[in-house]
């Protein structure tokens, strides 16, 4: 064997050893696990498939190749799919191929072509992992991809987490993880490996199309900036590595602070405004971002301006109540010292329900509340002090039917034990009822429109239970 060829094969073997050691050090793949490898047909993914294939005997991995034909490039796309299948077959690797026909899909559903294609491609890879019982999906992102990603995010404006670039690993969904064993390997190393081992590959013509931002970064911006920093890819990768490690540490600290100071309920998070004001601004931003992720808020909409909007509102004075509708599905409230961020959609429009004697229950879907009704003879009832969410009335002094409706401007009630009437709005304020519950609390009137009860606040002076009472109505409110 000629010396140059021997040296080249030695380099190829060294890359295999390097990848195997990196997988071990980062615990990316377990011994003997099932692995789905995403293969486009380009040099990066073909090198990845061969590297894992070469290492599989030592690690006992069960490898499956998966290729998604997006259908953007007609015959070229179809030929790539056929090429991946035939090469995988020659290596003895099972291969699954799907045709997504993205042009037709986008014409019908719309959306950003790259984003939607990625979403559907990843869904296919997930389905393949489930089908073959694999726990990892291996992707061919490499060090040059990482450098381009960091630079692209810098140009757009990003946080420390964004500077961390593409993660080495990420849980896609419970039981399935995305891993990137080539993230420390540069493109040229992969090209050299393909040449040394004789790995065929295809070149995607769209990689030269500068209408795509990433292509412009790779083909125009990186070469230009390399005139000022010869080792630009290495510099950007070092920045990504340091930023990712520091971000991981800060994220762990944020989770600890969150655990100790923020309470989570059904679609909401609450914390003390006074405590939040004493937290460093960097931690305030991280906490808001973490809270939004816990509330399953779309990460694509967690932009800097939105975080600052929430942070600024949360730091306002503590007197009274305030409401900020960030968008229809995200609301921020200030209730004295409490800040509540929730994803509950507030009820829109008015409602009014009739309740006739004998009816046992009424559910109000808009407000996620429920009322129960007991119609009792005095002999059946045990009359004591009702709870805040319960009220008892003398049926003889109530005009039926009962009406359950939404609040209206100018609503007034004559509270039990007080002279005169009072605005419902003022009664809520005096009782310090959480603003979100004011929207959900129904108004209870009798058939003449007289306000009987404001659940959780006060009952009216109408129809009190006395020694002469023969029949009673017991009402109770539940927040579902």
Instruction: Answer yes or no: is pLDDT of 108 > 80.
Output: yes
* Contact (CB, 8 A) for 388 and 468: no
Model confidence at 19, pLDDT cuts 50, 70, 90, reads: very high
Q: Is the dihedral of CA 214, 215, 216, 219 positive or negative?
A: positive
Q: Are residues 105 and 201 in the same domain?
A: yes
Question: Facing residues of 136 across strands?
Answer: 35, 177
The pLDDT value given to residue 346? 52
Q: Is residue 34 part of a domain?
A: yes
Please tell me the total count of domains within the chain.
Answer: 3
Q: Is residue 371 part of a domain?
A: yes
Q: Is residue 257 part of a domain?
A: no
Q: Is residue 248 part of a domain?
A: no
Tell me how far apart the alpha carbons of residues 214 and 237 are, in angstroms, rounded to a whole number.
16
Percentage with pLDDT > 70 across the chain = 91
Q: Are residues 115 and 169 in the same domain?
A: yes
| Token pair for 287 | 């906490």
**Domain end point (choices 276, 309, 342):** 342
Average pLDDT of span 222-238: 95
**Domain end point (choices 342, 360, 384):** 342
The pLDDT value given to residue 6? 65
Looking at per-residue confidence, does 457 or 299 come out higher? 457
* Contact (CB, 8 A) for 436 and 344: yes
Q: Are residues 360 and 276 in the same domain?
A: no
Q: Is residue 193 part of a domain?
A: yes
Cβ atoms within 10 Å, residue 164: 24
Eight-class DSSP state of 422: E
Q: Are residues 321 and 398 in the same domain?
A: no
Tell me how far apart the alpha carbons of residues 435 and 407 are, in angstroms, rounded to a whole number.
13
Tell me how far apart the alpha carbons of residues 134 and 342 are, in angstroms, rounded to a whole number.
37
Looking at per-residue confidence, does 254 or 340 come out higher? 254
Phi, psi for residue 435 in degrees, rounded to 5: -55, -35
The pLDDT value given to residue 62? 95
Q: Is residue 181 part of a domain?
A: yes
Q: Are residues 299 and 358 in the same domain?
A: no
Which pLDDT tens digit goes with each residue over 36-60? 999 999 999 999 999 999 999 999 9
| Token pair for 286 | 């991280």
Query: How many CA atoms, within 13 angstroms, populate the side-chain half-sphere of residue 235?
Result: 9
Instruction: Answer yes or no: is pLDDT of 136 > 80.
Output: yes
Instruction: Answer yes or no: is pLDDT of 329 > 60.
Output: yes
Tell me how far apart the alpha carbons of residues 443 and 411 are, in angstroms, rounded to a whole number.
9
**Domain end point (choices 322, 342, 362):** 342
Q: Are residues 80 and 229 in the same domain?
A: yes
Q: Which residue has 């140059």 as its token pair?
A: 4
In this structure, what CATH number is given to the domain that contains residue 53?
Answer: 3.40.50.620
Q: Are residues 456 and 331 in the same domain?
A: no
* Contact (CB, 8 A) for 48 and 78: no
Looking at per-residue confidence, does 234 or 427 come out higher? 234
In Å, the largest CA–CA distance within the chain is: 114
Give the best-scoring range by mean pLDDT among 237-246, 370-379, 389-398: 237-246
In this structure, what CATH number is given to the domain that contains residue 356?
Answer: 3.50.40.10
Q: Are residues 232 and 333 in the same domain?
A: no
Which pLDDT tens digit goes with each residue over 183-196? 999 999 999 999 99
Range of the domain at 14: 3-238
Which pLDDT tens digit goes with each residue over 54-106? 999 999 999 999 999 998 888 898 999 999 999 999 999 999 999 988 888 88
Average pLDDT of span 119-133: 94
E runs forming strands in 48-168: 62-69, 95-99, 136-138
Average pLDDT of span 334-361: 80
Tell me how far apart the alpha carbons of residues 160 and 163 are, in angstroms, rounded to a whole number.
5
* Contact (CB, 8 A) for 469 and 394: yes
Eight-class DSSP state of 94: -
* Contact (CB, 8 A) for 90 and 60: no
In terms of Cα–Cα distance, which of 39, 70, 40 is closest to 52?
39
Instruction: Answer yes or no: is pLDDT of 338 > 90.
Output: no
Summary mean pLDDT of the chain:
88
In this structure, what CATH number is given to the domain that contains residue 333?
Answer: 3.30.465.60
Q: Are residues 288 and 357 in the same domain?
A: no
Tell me how far apart the alpha carbons of residues 410 and 426 are, in angstroms, rounded to a whole number.
11
Model confidence at 3, pLDDT cuts 50, 70, 90, reads: very low
Q: Are residues 322 and 367 in the same domain?
A: no
Q: Are residues 113 and 231 in the same domain?
A: yes
Q: Is residue 471 part of a domain?
A: yes
Tell me how far apart the alpha carbons of residues 284 and 277 are, in angstroms, rounded to a whole number.
8
Q: What angle do CA 240, 68, 146 make, to 5 degrees?
A: 10
User: For the whole model, what pTM was predicted?
Assistant: 0.69
The pLDDT value given to residue 319? 54
Which pLDDT tens digit goes with each residue over 377-436? 876 655 555 666 788 999 999 999 999 998 888 889 988 878 888 898 888 888 877 666
Q: Is residue 252 part of a domain?
A: no
Which pLDDT tens digit goes with each residue over 251-270? 999 999 999 999 998 778 99
Q: Are residues 307 and 358 in the same domain?
A: no
């Amino acid at each position: 064997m000629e010396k140059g060829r021997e040296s080249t094969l030695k380099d190829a073997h060294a890359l295999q050893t390097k990848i195997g050691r990196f997988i071990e050090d980062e615990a990316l793949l377990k011994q003997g696990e099932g692995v789905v490898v995403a293969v486009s047909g380009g040099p990066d993914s073909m090198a990845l498939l061969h590297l894992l294939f070469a290492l599989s005997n030592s690690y006992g991995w069960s490898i499956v190749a998966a290729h998604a034909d997006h259908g953007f490039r007609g015959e070229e796309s179809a030929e790539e799919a056929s090429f991946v299948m035939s090469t995988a077959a020659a290596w003895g690797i099972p291969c699954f191929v799907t045709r997504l026909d993205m042009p037709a899909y986008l014409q019908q559903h719309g959306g950003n072509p790259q984003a939607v294609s990625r979403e559907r491609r990843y869904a296919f890879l997930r389905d393949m992992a489930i089908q073959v019982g694999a726990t990892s999906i291996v992707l061919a992102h490499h060090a040059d991809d990482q450098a381009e990603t960091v630079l692209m995010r810098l140009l757009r404006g990003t946080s420390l987490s964004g500077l961390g670039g593409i993660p080495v690993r990420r849980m896609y969904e419970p039981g399935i993880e995305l891993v990137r064993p080539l993230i420390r390997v540069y493109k040229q190393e992969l090209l050299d490996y393909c040449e040394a081992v004789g790995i065929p590959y295809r070149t995607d013509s769209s990689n030269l199309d500068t209408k795509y931002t990433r292509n412009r970064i790779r083909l125009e911006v990186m070469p230009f900036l390399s005139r000022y920093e010869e080792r630009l890819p290495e510099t950007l990768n070092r920045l990504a590595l340091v930023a990712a490690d520091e971000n991981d540490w800060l994220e762990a600290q944020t989770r600890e602070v969150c655990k100790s100071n923020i309470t989570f309920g059904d679609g909401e998070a609450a914390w003390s405004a006074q405590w939040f004001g004493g937290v460093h601004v960097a931690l305030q931003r991280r906490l808001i971002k973490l809270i939004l992720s816990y509330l399953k808020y779309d990460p694509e909409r967690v932009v800097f301006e939105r975080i600052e909007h929430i942070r600024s509102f949360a730091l306002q004075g503590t007197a009274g109540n305030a409401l900020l509708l960030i968008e229809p599905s995200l609301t921020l409230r200030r209730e004295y010292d409490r800040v509540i961020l929730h994803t509950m959609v507030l009820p829109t429009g008015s409602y009014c329900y009739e309740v006739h004697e004998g009816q046992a229950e009424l559910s109000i879907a808009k407000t996620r509340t429920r009322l129960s009704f007991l119609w009792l003879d005095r002999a059946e009832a045990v009359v004591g002090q009702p709870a805040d969410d319960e009220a008892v009335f003398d049926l003889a002094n109530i005009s039926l039917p009962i009406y359950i409706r939404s609040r209206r401007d100018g609503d007034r009630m004559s509270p039990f034990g007080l002279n005169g009437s009072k605005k419902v709005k003022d009664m809520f304020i005096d009782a310090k009822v959480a603003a979100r519950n004011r929207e959900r609390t129904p108004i209870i009137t009798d058939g003449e429109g007289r306000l009987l009860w404001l659940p959780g606040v006060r009952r009216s002076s109408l129809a009190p239970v006395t020694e002469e009472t023969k029949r009673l109505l017991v009402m109770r409110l539940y927040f579902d």
